[in-house]
Structure 1
Amino acid sequence: MNRLTTKAAGVFVIAVTPFHPDGGIDYESCDRMVDFYLDAGATGLTVLGMMGEAPKLTVEESRDVVARIMTRVDGRVPVVVGVSAPGFAQIGGLTEMVMDLGAAGVMIAPPGSLRTDEQIVTYYKQVAELIGDVPFVLQDFPLVTGVQMAPGVIARIVNDLPTCVCLKHEDWPGLEKITTLRRDGVLNRPLSILCGNGGLFLPEEMARGADGAMTGFAYPEMMVVVVEHYANGEMDRARELFDAYLPLARFEQQPGMGLAIRKYTLAKRGVIAHEALRSPGAALSDKSRAEVDLLIARQEKRLQELN
């Protein structure tokens, strides 16, 4: 089994969950999607994240999706599974289920009920005790969870809990948080930092000391080349390529319609058969689709100029 470690780096793509128009899970598109992400250069996958429509799945469907993806991945890269839930019973049950299926680790976001630093630290201590030796990703996404985690709080969790091997950094703005965590003496051991927000700040995050991305974007190859060029010291080239994709990445980050945009683009690229979201979820208007089409055309033109 590919257990997640503090050496996690590169691009862990947040996978969408493909659906048929009637709301049924499209398992054939799951296979095609896995192949697409790996061919694009993903070093890992994350499934049942917030952009994977996990709350819309039954427990049985969650198990079947993870099992299908694990079978298709076939050990080539580690797979992280989101198990965030309101209660410990759900988290414990989901963690046991996905680890039995071959997951490399789990990702856990704090519940919105946490208000103080002590509550946050205590919560993760209890989570770590609950899941035992399973490595976990600490998801810091205050724009969605409403939970603010200062660098000192994250450091306390990491320093006290050896199974916390990765931070999914998704604060916005949050670049100073990366700088603080990378400062000598803040952490007493290595920690992988993978960033979210659709890669919108990836060049700056890499420059601050991130190890890569753990997020989704309809063109994951953008994140792969940015990370690779930064690793090779080719910062200018990384930014040139990033800039070509930026208008579409910005458009895709619109709250409330970002996933619909991503699924439309993935369907347009032939990765998934349908752009469908499971209800509740709004489809794109014809005007929005036309705007995406225009951004893709301009992106392709710019990439041709750069190459």
Structure 2
Amino acid sequence: MKDFSECHARLRGLFNITVTPFRADGAFDHEGLARNVERAIGLGFNGVLIGGTYGEFPAMSTDERANMFRRVMDVVGDRAPVMLCSAGSDTRVVRELTALAGDLGGLPMVTPPFVSEVTDEQIVAFFRDIAPLSRTGVLVYNAPGVGITLSPAVLEQLAEIPNIVGVKQGDLSPTAIDRIANRLGGRIRLFCASDLAFLGPMMAGFDGVSSTNSCALPELILAAYRALEAGDAATARDLHRLWYPFRALAREFGQPQVAKAAMTLRGFDGGSVRPPLRDLDAAQVERVAAVLRDLSADPRSGVRLAG
């Protein structure tokens, strides 16, 4: 993407949050990441998100993240929009990675600075400083998981900042979704940050969804999203219900861990997680395998197991 206008026009649909496959010794598996990106594009995802919270960016060095941005953009080219997470607790790192992401033609995704006792005013000032650094715009990531939840009122202030292209909304409470959809819809792009419960935000008028678990269940989650996109809410609901047992395990064990274990079971490049996360143990993997077997037995899911 060459500029803000093109980025805004293409920023919609289902984005695959591509997990970062690490080897058992912690080394970066760049080839595996490239294969995962190619799979997502080949299956028809509207875009990919690289190095986000479920991509384990806090466990990477700045140099690793920058190298990952360059490698992924070399793989993707202009075939699909790419969100590149440039978040961090050190503003110097955020500035460096945000500028790089925009220069490469990706869309930098930035969380509020996760430092203690930061105020709403300081958060707004932070985004005013960061937004001009990227020629493609900046995507605000409202990520409660990092300890800061931006209120709808603060998001409305951020929407007024030039070069803010959208928000990826992690607070999925109905009141917040209702206000954001009706006060910000049409002004900036609105993305639901979780595939665990995306039907509500999409029905409210959001522009898209980012999905970690689609790394493990791409056929099923794509089918549910496309049904909703086509106006077939009943089919979308029924398909979403199919993978509730998988969602329950993701909530219990952690999404990147469960997604990676399921990917490996399916013959994809799941790889390992990096500390402080831990890979699933044998008993946990078997519970994931049992859910996959049940899904593969239902022809509606489209899920097929390796071998």
Provide TM-score, normalisation by structure 1: 0.88
Cα 1:118/1:237, change in 2 over 3 Å: same
* Partner Cα distance (1:224, 1:118) in 2: 39
Cα 1:18/1:164, change in 2 over 3 Å: same
The SS at the match of 2:249 is: helix
The SS at the match of 2:243 is: helix
Q: Are positions 1:73 and 2:69 aligned together?
A: no
* Partner Cα distance (2:79, 2:136) in 1: 20
User: Which residue in 2 is equivalent to 1:165?
Assistant: 165
Amino acid at match of 1:171: D
Q: Are positions 1:182 and 2:184 aligned together?
A: no
CA contact (8 A) 2:246 2:288 kept: yes
Amino acid at match of 1:93: E
Q: How many residues align?
A: 297
Higher RCO (C-alpha under 8 Å, 6+ residues apart): 1
* Partner Cα distance (2:146, 2:247) in 1: 22
Please list the CA deviations of residues 55-79 of structure 1 after superposition, one character each: whole Å capped at 9, or x if unmatched.
Answer: 2222232222222221221211011
Cα 1:281/1:106, change in 2 over 3 Å: same
Please list the CA deviations of residues 188-240 of structure 1 after superposition, one character each: whole Å capped at 9, or x if unmatched.
Answer: 9522111123x111112211111221131121333322222122111101111
CA contact (8 A) 1:6 1:190 kept: no
* Partner Cα distance (1:44, 1:128) in 2: 21
Q: 1:214-293 maps to which residues of 2 (within 5 A)?
A: 214-217=210-213, 218-254=216-252, 257-272=254-269, 275-293=271-289
| Shift, 1:34, TM fit | 1.0
* Partner Cα distance (2:59, 2:178) in 1: 36
2:97 aligned residue (84, 94, 97): 94
* Partner Cα distance (2:251, 2:43) in 1: 21
CA contact (8 A) 1:9 1:212 kept: yes
Q: Which runs of 4+ in 1 moved over 6 A?
A: none
Cα 1:63/1:188, change in 2 over 3 Å: closer
Cα 1:245/1:303, change in 2 over 3 Å: farther
2:141 aligned residue (133, 139, 142): 139
| Shift, 1:289, TM fit | 0.6
- Give the gaps of 5 or more residues in structure 1: none
CA contact (8 A) 2:192 2:206 kept: yes
Provide TM-score, normalisation by structure 2: 0.88
| Shift, 1:268, TM fit | 1.6
CA contact (8 A) 1:226 1:242 kept: yes
CA contact (8 A) 1:104 1:135 kept: no
Cα 1:175/1:225, change in 2 over 3 Å: farther
Aligned-pair identity in percent equals 24
- Give the gaps of 5 or more residues in structure 2: none
User: Which residue in 1 is equivalent to 2:196?
Assistant: 200
